[in-house]
Amino acid sequence: MGVLNVTPDSFSDGGRLSGPDEAIAAGLELWHQGATFVDVGGESSRPGAEGVAERDELARVLPVVAGLAARGVRVSIDTVKPAVAEAAVEAGACLVNDIRGLRDESMRSVCAQAGVPAVIMHMRGTPRNMQRTPHYRDVVAEVEAFLAERARRALEDGVPSVLVDPGIGFGKRLAHNLALLGATARLSSHGAPLLIGASRKSMIGRLAGRAGPLERLPGTLALNLYAAERGAALLRVHDVAEHAQALAVLGAVAAAERGRAVEERDRVAGARAGSHG
């Protein structure tokens, strides 16, 4: 999933694009680099961010969603506002990415009525206050239970399918983020595909000598390859070309490993059959 922020203030790429035409061109580039979805967002969720008025968010995202969808791009809409999700889906978005985890009943009904799947993300608090002393007794179990409950409720209300996301950096300290990433295999074992959004986030700066957001690609790749190996289905990233290359190489090596495992199994089975014949 390629990140396309049409905001002035996103934490790593705010203000990069000067208007809809430039945003559409950037989205097309992500698509041609191998993104499965281009995730269009018009409101930053960085820690401390103020909300954006619905009218302003609509004006930012709608021309971009419509322009990309008209060119055959699979667009997801990154919003917490039901009205924005609804208008974006009408303009051609085929996935709703809600960092509030479909908390609003009206968000669930937008997805259900339009028949579009949704991403349910875990967040403690709101972007404004989420990093004020987040505390968990068992972060993995708590996030797991939250995602299961929200997924159950969404499916009951008619949302056709959901992806789940532990919400890296949303109301979590470094140790919480690490515990959640370390539990990728567990979190992806419950049926709903797992999305990981760790791209360029501050945990990488914390782990790697305070590198700034634009210096965090190597750490992002390390986290995402780790997650992909352990079952993450979708990686939300700013650097699509680099991830496409890394995943192609990882996939080829993993396939070779599986091929060797099959050969070994056949060899053992053949030897057993021989000794019994």
* Catalytically annotated residues: 201, 236
Task: Tell me if 11 contacts ligand HH2 by CB under 6 A.
Answer: yes
Q: Which residue has the tokens 């021309």?
A: 63
Task: Tell me if 88 contacts ligand HH2 by CB under 6 A.
Answer: no
Task: Tell me if 76 contacts ligand HH2 by CB under 6 A.
Answer: no
Task: Tell me if 239 contacts ligand HH2 by CB under 6 A.
Answer: no
Task: Tell me if 197 contacts ligand HH2 by CB under 6 A.
Answer: yes
Which of 70/174 has CB closer to ligand HH2? 174
Q: Which of 57, 85, 93, 97 binds ligand HH2 (CB under 6 A)?
A: 97
Task: Tell me if 164 contacts ligand HH2 by CB under 6 A.
Answer: no
Q: Which of 45, 177, 184, 202 binds ligand HH2 (CB under 6 A)?
A: 45
Task: Tell me if 31 contacts ligand HH2 by CB under 6 A.
Answer: no
Q: Which of 78, 86, 144, 239 binds ligand HH2 (CB under 6 A)?
A: 78
Angle subtended at Cα 128 by Cα 124 and Cα 130, rounded to the nearest 5 degrees: 25
Which of 97/131 has CB closer to ligand HH2? 97
Q: What is the 3-state secondary structure (H, E, C) of 162-222?
A: EEEECCCCCCCCHHHHHHHHHCHHHHCCCCCCEEECCCCCHHHHHHCCCCCHHHCHHHHHH
DSSP 49: P
Task: Tell me if 168 contacts ligand HH2 by CB under 6 A.
Answer: yes
Task: Give the C-alpha separation, 211 to 217, whole Å.
Answer: 10
Are the C-beta atoms of residues 110 and 97 closer than 8 Å to each other?
Answer: no
Q: Which CA distances in Å does 85 have to 90, 92, 167, 245?
A: 9, 11, 19, 32
Residues that bind ligand HH2 (CB under 6 A): 3, 5, 7, 10-12, 41, 44-46, 78, 97, 99, 119, 121, 165, 167-168, 195, 197, 236
